[in-house]
Chain A
Amino acid sequence: MPQTNNPPNQAGQHLLDQVRAQVLAEHQAQADALRQRSDYIPALDYFLDLLARPLSLEKMRAAIGRPVMEQLCNLAPYELFHAFGVHPVRMGCGCNSVQRLVASGNPVLMCPVMKSNLGMQRLHGQAGEEGAVRVVPTSCDWVVKYPEMARQDGRETHFLELPHSRQSEKGQQRWLEEIYGFAALLEKKTGKKLKRQRLLASIEAFMRAWRALQELADLRRRRLIPGIFFMVVANSFMLDAVEPWTEHLGQLLEEAASRRAAATGRGIFLAGSPIAFPNYKLPHLIEEAGMDVCADDLCTSERVLPGAVCYDDPSEHGLLRALSERYHRGCICPTFADNERRVNSILNTCRQNDIQGVVYHVLKGCHPCDIESVTMGETLKQHGYKFLRIETDFAKEDSQNLLTRLEAFGEIL
């Protein structure tokens, strides 16, 4: 495939250098801010180091020693990539300064995550290498149009057509077909056949990661670690191979459990649009307002791993079906049409952990979350929970305004 990386806005080298310095500074500043906290846990170093370097597929490929495939949403099963020896990395990004590179030539009210992502691609000039594939589950309009917005970057795009109805047999069957098609693509690209034992091993590897992350979530729910540290760990998922990441998480768990450093603020549930490093504006403001995120359902945080893949039929088909259903039927992303049960997750968690308030984060341009926030707010209020909708982007200008609203919200909890 020819390399045709040709940034449409023709950003000059000077601008690129300037933005590169800003991006590095933004990442470093966030990492430093976290490291300087009095409740910092040294075992977080590994995770912060992963986050502090801006994502570059080439460097990652070299560091991990496996082919890397970018995915735009974590609805593509990690286990399937892993079973073929491929490392998937989710191209979510919370970098603000890099957005300058794609400000022109794209919609004004564009999803900030997509904007940062595109900017990062532009910055690194990550042209398509031979056979490189971008895997795009069609979870929202922005990811569907991403290849068009990233025009001429030379990457082949494989769409996983996501049925937005999860509870129908037709929807489930269609998604399973997509998973089969995806396995066929991976076979073609890697030249390997899908092996049942390898898939089983991959499922177990990600189960170990999920178990460890659940333990960390439990520590957070019991207020033994601040919510923002959980986000650090979850955000760094798949920035390294899953096995060392899980091992380091094990070390963090030991250290965190032994320190017993309790979070101080009032516990809240954070729902809505994803929050990715280094854009920790909202978590910082929540802390500043005297609250702490002790549970969330963000796809970059607690939902970064879809959950336990339970299977009863260990045949290849049985495993693929279990994976397919776990990632599709078990997903509570607002993109789904039949998603009325999502609120159950929030209500359950709040009930079980004595959480009184829910902050709903809407990234400007994130339409599914924006729409859902209305019904979600009504339902939660009916159940007696306090609800605050925050609509923002990565810019810092609205921080004071948001802080005032959060402080007022904290008062009524």
Chain B
Amino acid sequence: MTVKALRLITQHTMFLVLTYGGRLGISLGSALPCLSCPYVSGCGGYCYLMALQSGVWGLAMPLGDMVSAQGLEALYYLGIFVLLAALFNKLWCGWICPFGLIQDWLTMLRKKLGIREARLSWRNRERLKPVKYILLAYLVVVPLLIAHAGLSGDFGLPFCQICPAKPIMPLFAGITHHLALDLTNTITLVFSILSVGIAGGMLVGMFYKERFFCIFCPMLILIHVLKKISPIRFEKEVDGCLGCGNCHRMCPVDIRDVQEQKTKKDVLSEDCMLCLTCVESCPQDKVLRLKFLQWPLFASSRKYVARHFPMKKRAHASDE
């Protein structure tokens, strides 16, 4: 079995668990380091970004609540998030995130139709990098302003209001009302227009560019800051790299760092989601390695590449 197949099985299993698990009594808590949307009724666990922004366990909590038992509960959820994010690190993004799988479905459809992927120039790709930091700042600052500067509560859960997962993910549970405009007041109307607009734009982007939303996802940063304490290591034997560029070309989010790294062993960059496509396509033995502490989980090899590429075996086209 290829790593790609194993990842697909894991992703689909986790999609089912996270989208429908609640209906079977499964609850993985409210501090998951992936976009498991809480707006999906009957889901099996909640994305931590909602808890982080909320006034119950997060940044929008009034000062008084922070020093009460509720504050301890908020710390408990933060602790669970840190534990989970540290334990599996970016594997959450590449292997578990249900919104990631939806993006992968769109990519599969595009590939099936033989439509070429949109490419971002190296410069534009670099320019997009700070967007997720802006979104992270937005989801941190707005709840703080609500709690401490009297900003209207209608601005609550600011990231969830514009997250493309909000109108899209509930569709899998038959919930369509997040596609409707909220006419309660101007703020809710603007948010609902933005939400549907961003989701629509993202769907187009995700169809033409693999894992397009992941470029902007603030969750990546939160997970990435825990890299140092994570037992998951993504390493490169820099002396073995020939610079063939397979890792860059095959990477769903166009990471160049892996190929360009010539000195440092650690190549887990902030945009990486550990899908391991680069490891699968690296033709040099043991140059790229995924490890759990010092134990290797998967390493690149020429034989693996020879056995598994091209991805589909095709009969010879007859000679014309």
Contact = CB atoms under 8 A, between A and B. Distances in A.
Contact of A322 (B122, B249, B283): B249
A344 B239 contact: yes
25 contacts: A85-B319, A169-B121, A201-B315, A201-B316, A202-B317, A211-B306, A214-B303, A308-B306, A308-B309, A310-B249, A310-B305, A311-B249, A311-B310, A312-B250, A312-B252, A313-B116, A314-B111, A315-B115, A316-B114, A326-B244, A332-B242, A342-B242, A344-B239, A344-B241, A347-B240
Interface of A: 65-66, 85, 166-167, 169, 172, 192, 195-198, 200-205, 207, 210-211, 214, 243, 307-318, 321-322, 325-326, 329-330, 332, 338, 341-342, 344-345, 347-348, 352
B64 to A, nearest CB: 53
Contacts of A348: 239-240, 284-285
B245 A329 contact: yes
Contacts of A341: 241-243
Contacts of A338: 243
List the 9 closest pairs (A to B, CB-CB), nearest first.
A330-B244, A315-B116, A317-B116, A329-B245, A201-B317, A310-B281, A313-B117, A308-B305, A211-B306
A325 B314 contact: no
Interface string B188-220: 000000000000000000000010000000000
A352 B244 CA distance: 20
Contact of A325 (B115, B245, B315): B245
Contacts of B239: 344, 347-348
B122 A169 contact: yes
Name, among B111, B114, B283, B312, the residue most crowded by chain A CB atoms within 10 Å (CB to CB). B114
Contacts of B244: 307, 325-326, 329-330
A149 to B, nearest CB: 33
Contacts of A210: 306
Interface in B206-263: 210, 239-246, 249-250, 252, 260
B23 interface: no
B148 interface: no
A338 B311 CA distance: 30
B313 interface: yes
Contacts of A167: 243, 260
Contacts of B313: 204
Contacts of B115: 315
B129 interface: no
Nearest to B237: A348
Contact of B310 (A65, A196, A204, A332): A204
Given A307-B283, A318-B117, A342-B242, A66 B310 contact: no
Given A308-B306, A316-B116, A325 B242 contact: no
A192 B281 contact: no
B114 A315 contact: yes
A361 B111 CA distance: 45
Contact of B306 (A169, A214, A311, A329): A214
Contacts of B260: 167
Nearest to B252: A312
B277 interface: yes
B310 A203 contact: yes
Given A192-B320, A205-B316, A315-B115, A330 B245 contact: yes
